[in-house]
Amino acid sequence: MPKSAKISFVLADAQVQQPVTKFGGQPVWIGAPTWPIDDEFGEQMIFVAQFALTPDLFPGSKESVVYLFVAASEPVTTDTTTCIVQSAHAAIPATCKTTPELTGPSVITLRDEVEEQLEYAVTLQTVDEPTVALADRFTKSELSLKDGYQFRHTALAGCKLAGQPIYVEQQQAPEYFRNPDWVHICQLAPDHGYFAQFQPNFYPFVLELGEYGLLNVFINTDGTRAVAYVQSL
């Protein structure tokens, strides 16, 4: 059975200084700082998260860390995301323009209408997912514009590492979902519904993914390139 790890967000009470999975704050580089530059504005992109590819969920991952960034423009789309891959065992060249800045902008959290740059550690609950055929993971029919998503395969829903991604955009799964050369790293999706007080109900920071948008991150099997894929209506 495919294995995944359900994500729970935990507000960090101190700066995370280890290369573990986390959201917000500043990246913990395991190689030389490689901050991507937004082609449109010529500025540092916004840091969203880092994902530690541990052997229990990602066999053969070579202790890599994937760093997710987005452009400042909204909504976030696939084309306005960038992933940087670093490995403890080899230098992996970036595929975009970068700067060696150690720190930069990161996602914000709104608390009482005040913008704060908060950092979130995660707790992970490892589960065995029932195997679901790729064509049966198409979930657009499970979306109500009033009530949000009501997923049939609840074990595949929610924010998680690894496991089987769900998709909503088109009847045929996008390439990264069906190509065996790509491995699923992370999914940001609701367990059910979508909104809570006009904000997505499945992550605590500000990340505009478009209308009922979901986000998935993948890495190729040789561990040299990662991509984020944003699905929205």
132-181 pLDDT per residue, tens: 999 899 888 889 888 999 999 999 999 999 999 999 877 788 899 999 99
Q: How far apart are the C-alpha atoms of 196 and 123, rounded to whole Å?
A: 22
pLDDT of residue 13: 94
Q: How far apart are the C-alpha atoms of 67 and 103, rounded to whole Å?
A: 13
pLDDT bin (cut points 50, 70, 90) of residue 233 is confident
pLDDT bin (cut points 50, 70, 90) of residue 67 is very high
Residue linked to tokens 């992970």: 124
The percentage of the chain sitting over the pLDDT mark of 70, rounded to a whole number, equals 100
82 has a pLDDT exceeding 80: yes
The CA–CA distances, whole Å, from 217 to 12, 14, 39, 124, 228 equal 23, 26, 21, 17, 4
Q: What is the mean pLDDT of residues 26-38?
A: 96
CATH fold, domain 3-231, is: Hypothetical protein YwqG fold (2.30.320)
pLDDT bin (cut points 50, 70, 90) of residue 95 is confident
User: What residues contact residue 87 under an 8 Å CB cut-off, 6+ apart?
Assistant: 30, 31, 62, 63, 64, 65, 223
Q: What is the mean pLDDT of residues 219-228?
A: 95
88 has a pLDDT exceeding 90: no
Mean pLDDT of the chain: 94
- What single DSSP character describes residue 45? P
